[in-house]
């Protein structure tokens, strides 16, 4: 807990142990901060490191605004499950890179759903061990660490959470048509890569072919998948 109160944006506070002395802890007080810059000075690099550490904690800041600097190679999934795209990328790979910052191993939505399912278990390792035993079945090895089979009957009475994509659609904007095209290309991109999340593909095919035809068209190239007979 003490380490989570990072030195980024400090407000000096006293505790029982430090009261009356010059040794105080630093507590953040910002709700939202910016992240990233085109410059690479030592001060800006330290700022980015502090912001990333602060955002990956249960405490403030709760909102992180970033340019494409935060699009690759960073993990923001520990306490974040919502991604707002202020502008749309030109290709599905960049969209995957953006959302890959919060759609990762043991991401927030996965941990919350596992915790809701096993409320009588109090250790994370025990929760995921139990989930791996009960939920994986004939699914890929990515369950329960990357995603969960939310259609399983065990989740029927649970208010589950998902990673949310938020795209503001401004009136008369080209983003409406761009988003429609991007999702269609993204669904095919994911299908080719063998990824399990195929909601966009099903939305694209909805009302065009029957559910039986959809099942015949879907295939999974994931190396972790198991064949079902």
Q: How many CA within 13 A on the CB side of residue 95?
A: 22
Q: Between helices 175-193 and 92-99, what is the axis angle to 10°?
A: 80
**Which H or E run includes 187?**
helix 175-193
Q: How far apart are CA 112 and CA 8, in angstroms?
A: 27
Q: What is the pLDDT along the chain (229 residues), one digit of tens a residue?
A: 666 655 445 556 566 676 667 776 665 556 667 776 666 778 777 777 777 888 888 877 788 888 777 787 788 999 999 999 988 888 888 888 898 899 999 999 999 999 999 999 999 999 999 999 999 887 778 899 998 988 889 999 999 999 999 998 888 888 888 888 888 777 776 666 555 455 666 666 666 777 677 666 665 555 555 555 4
DSSP classification of residue 137: T
Where are the chain's structural domains? 104-160
Torsions phi, psi of 164, nearest 5? -110, 130
For the beta carbon of residue 69, count every other beta carbon within 10 angstroms: 12
Query: Measured in Å, how far apart are the chain's first and last C-alpha atoms?
Result: 49
């Amino acid at each position: 807990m003490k380490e989570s109160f990072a030195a980024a944006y400090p407000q000096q506070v006293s505790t029982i142990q430090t009261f009356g002395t010059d040794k105080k802890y630093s507590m953040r007080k910002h709700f939202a901060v910016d992240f990233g810059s085109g410059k690479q000075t030592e001060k800006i690099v330290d700022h980015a490191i502090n912001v990333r550490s602060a955002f990956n904690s249960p405490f403030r800041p709760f909102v992180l605004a970033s340019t494409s600097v935060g699009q690759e190679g960073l993990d923001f999934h520990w306490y974040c499950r919502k991604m707002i795209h202020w502008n749309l990328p030109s290709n599905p790979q960049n969209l995957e890179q953006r959302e890959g910052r919060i759609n990762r191993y043991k991401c927030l939505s996965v941990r919350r759903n596992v915790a809701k399912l096993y409320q009588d278990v109090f250790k994370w390792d025990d929760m995921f061990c139990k989930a791996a035993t009960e939920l994986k079945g004939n699914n890929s090895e990515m369950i329960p660490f990357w995603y969960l089979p939310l259609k399983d009957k065990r989740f029927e009475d649970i208010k589950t959470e998902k990673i949310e994509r938020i795209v503001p659609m401004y009136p008369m904007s080209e983003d409406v048509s761009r988003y429609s095209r991007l999702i269609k290309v993204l669904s095919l991109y994911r299908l080719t890569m063998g990824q399990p999340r195929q909601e966009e593909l099903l939305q694209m095919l909805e009302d065009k072919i029957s559910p039986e035809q959809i099942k015949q068209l879907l295939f999974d190239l994931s190396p972790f998948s198991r064949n079902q007979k």
